[in-house]
Amino acid sequence: MPLVHIHMQTGKPDAYRQAIFDGVYDALRATFNVPEDDQFMTITEHEASNFRYGATYFDVARSDDLVFIQLTVSNTRTSDQKKALFRRITDLLVEKPGLRPEDVFVSLVEVDKVNWSFGYGLAQYA
């Protein structure tokens, strides 16, 4: 059950943002075996003055179209699954909405399964 937070600069149309949601979700389904309808995602848009990034950190030439994607996930995936997820998200977001691969920044935050509550105040995985 990934929880996805996406941050980007303001100004893109709704279809662009929806394509990002779709691409991330499709990549999670393909690489992390996320079940159908397991979609808990937000996009937060920031004015340029509130969005800072290293334009060339790690020798990656980023632009103002940079998208930060942070996924909170259970700590049950292998390194190969994580690498496949990063690649698949990038490939899908390059395809649609047309991001450059340099502008896809992904971070995983891993938590124990007991740290999730999907409602009712229950720890469903515990």
Predicted confidence at residue 71, as pLDDT, reads 98
Q: In the predicted model, is pLDDT for residue 1 greater than 90?
A: no
Kindly calculate the radius of gyration of the chain based on its CA atoms and give it in whole angstroms: 15
CB-side neighbour CA atoms (13 Å) of 4: 25
Domain ranges across the chain = 3-115
Active site residue 35: no
Residue-wise pLDDT for 51-110, tens only, equals 999 999 999 999 999 999 999 999 999 999 999 999 999 999 999 999 999 999 999 999
Quote the CA–CA distance of 81 and 66 in Å, as a whole number.
Answer: 23
Q: What is the mean pLDDT of the chain?
A: 97
Q: What is the spatial distance between Cα 86 and Cα 69, in angstroms, rounded to a whole number?
A: 10
Distance CA 16, CA 117 (A): 30
Residues composing the chain: 126
What global pTM score does this model have? 0.95
Q: Which CATH superfamily is domain 3-115 in?
A: Macrophage Migration Inhibitory Factor (3.30.429.10)
- CA–CA dist 68, 125 (Å, integer): 28
Q: What is the pLDDT of residues 8-34, one digit of tens each?
A: 999 999 999 999 999 999 999 999 999
Per annotation, catalytic residue among 2, 13, 35, 101: 2
